[in-house]
Amino acid sequence: MSSSFSFPRPTTTTDNLEDLYKVYGVDRAVVLDLAGATETPKTVRGGYCGAYRSFFHSCGLTFPIPEPVLEILEELGLSFTQILPNFLSHLIALLVRAREEGLPFGLGEFRHHVLVKRNKQNPGTFLVSPRPGRHVIVDVPYRDEKWHEQFFVFNVDRASVGDFDFSRLPRNWAENIAPSGSSLMSDEIRGLIEAPPVEGSEHEAKYSREVVATPSVQAQSSDRLVRHLVRRSSFRASGSASRSRASDRPPLISIRDTEDEGSSLEERSPILLSPGLEDETVPRPISGVGDLISLAGRMRSAGCRLPSLASSAEKKAYAKVAVASSKVMEAFKKYVVVMEDRENEAYTTQVVAQRAKIAAFEVERDQDICLASCIARRDIEKQYREVLESLKENLTSKKKEVSAKIQLQEVIANIDLLNKLKDGGLTVDAELARLKEMEGDCEGLVASAAVSDWSITELDLPQVSKDSVDQVDGSSVPDGSDSS
């Protein structure tokens, strides 16, 4: 890099920094400071970054610096202080336009519309020039001789650069820009820049504006960019009103509109972006200083109408685009509905299948419980029968034993009686009276010792129906099966 470029002493004052806070809406959380005696755009103290006042009062920049701006500088391999206001003006204009149309924007789209060049007058710095047929803004100075004199520094933190990792930007100035590939969105961005919406078809244009105004995927930094630029436009408008009372009309934004890249560079009529002035004669475009600020503010102001096209051919072309866009959106909505229906149907099918499985498990569980209960009752009945049969056998044996003892005692008593009668020691009448007395006593003893029948039919045992027994006998449980 040539060392012939010497940095002049910055002319920025504390009043200039205070003006950034008050007039241009810089948040007080952003720490601004004057450059030190040894600081230049190439050598800035640690934790700080350099900037130029023209970035704010001419280019529409504000804090925190939009992430797309920093990301594009990162891809180019450039330091923040290497770019000219001309570079930043075109970058912000394209970012705002892409944001308003709900399209992503990156380095590929930027380089599709502009050429990045070295600034030969100030080696190490870079500017841009629009490619043929792709003029976006006019009246922006190609070079600003005093842009580097109003230099200052700011602290790099969340308030100044948001969530962007500022260490990704090089601190040393690059000699060349980094190579980059093309973007798939170049044609879409080019179509939006070169063919603004048509006023002709009221229904189609209205529907198209609704479609375009609803971006599918937007980066948070792009939202912040438009929000800050709208705020900047309010500060700019208030400052302009205090300096000039000649006109109550809002400033106009002139945008070049060309057919394609191969068309001539002949200028077309400037496109009016101010609300409420569509039917009036278009005056001469204002200076490019306020173009970018007004672009962001006017596009979102109440009652804003998108710019009209210059020819009937463009109107027809845009009408076709609007109809195609509406069809695409309608098809997409139908696709979303179909996918939601399929998802709901699949969910319902899964729920029904799970409920069927639960019902089957419950039936199997009830069958297992019933089977186990029947088997248990049958086992208990079998054990009762075995016990009762054993008692019955014991009782029968006991009766036989008692009967034999009684017979034996009767035989012995008869023998004793006959012996007494033979010896003459006993009279018949006396013995008969004694036996009758004993008969009454024995009858009382028999009555008091009477017991109930011990047979199985007389016992109160749990009963198992014949159907239950048949069901148990006919049921089969697979070996190793698990019940719920």
Cα separation of 388 and 382, whole Å? Answer: 10
Sheet holding 151-155, edge to edge: 32-34, 151-155, 48-52
Residues with Cβ within 8 Å of 74's Cβ and at least 6 positions away in sequence, in order, are 168, 169
Q: What 3-state class would DSSP assign to 118?
A: strand
Cis peptide bond upstream of 64, omega within 30: yes
Exposure of 60 in the CB half-sphere (CA atoms within 13 A): 34
- Asked if residues 136 and 255 have their Cβ atoms less than 8 Å apart, the reply is yes
Contact 119, 126 (CB under 8 A): yes
Q: Indicate the pTM of the whole model.
A: 0.40
The residues spanned by each domain of the chain are 14-310, 315-474
Where residue 78 falls (left for φ over 0; alpha for ψ -120 to 50; beta otherwise) is beta
Q: How far apart are CA 107 and CA 71, in angstroms?
A: 8
Residue length, the chain? 484
Q: 172: Cβ–Cβ under 8 A, 6 or more apart, which residues?
A: 42, 79
- Provide the CA 307 distance to its chain's centre, in angstroms: 36
- The one-digit pLDDT tens for each residue of the chain (484 residues) are 444 456 777 888 999 899 899 988 899 999 999 988 888 888 899 999 999 988 888 888 889 999 999 999 999 999 998 888 888 888 998 888 888 888 888 888 888 888 888 888 888 888 888 888 777 777 666 565 667 778 899 999 999 999 999 988 888 888 887 765 444 444 444 454 444 444 444 444 443 343 333 333 334 444 444 444 444 444 444 444 444 443 443 333 333 333 333 333 333 333 333 333 333 333 343 344 444 445 444 444 444 444 455 567 777 888 888 889 889 999 999 999 999 999 999 999 999 999 999 999 999 999 999 999 999 999 999 999 999 999 998 888 888 888 888 888 888 888 887 887 778 777 777 778 888 888 888 878 777 766 665 555 555 655 655 565 555 555 544 444 444 3
Amino acid at 349: T
Tokens 């109809």 — which residue?
323
